[in-house]
Amino acid sequence: MENGFVTYHDLIKCGFKQHTARNIIRQAKASMVQKGYALYLNQRLGTVPREAVESIIGSPLNGDVENE
């Protein structure tokens, strides 16, 4: 997660179950659409800004998980 974006794979590495991680990404995408970023209406886009995820879960993500 060095680049500021998060996928559901990153959330699984942080300890979330797969279904929960996917739901967090969905909520983050919906939040970004409400903010005016229509790019996140794309179903195939599974990467969201780290700040959007942190606002949903209510705590900062650990920086030790890296994208592969």
pLDDT tens-digit series, residues 26-50: 999 999 999 999 999 999 999 999 9
On whether residue 62 sits in a domain, the answer given is no
CB 52 within 8 A of CB 31: yes
On whether residue 63 sits in a domain, the answer given is no
Domain count, the chain: 1
Give the DSSP H or E segment for 55.
helix 50-57
Residue 21 has pLDDT above 80, yes or no: yes
pLDDT band at residue 55, thresholds of 50, 70 and 90?
A: very high
Give the list of residues 6+ apart from residue 14 with CB closer than 8 angstroms, or none: 61, 62, 65
Could you tell me the end-to-end alpha-carbon distance of the chain, in angstroms, rounded to an integer? 9
Which of 67, 63, 41, 44 lies closest to 54 in space, CA to CA? 63
Task: Give the domain extent around 34.
Answer: 5-57
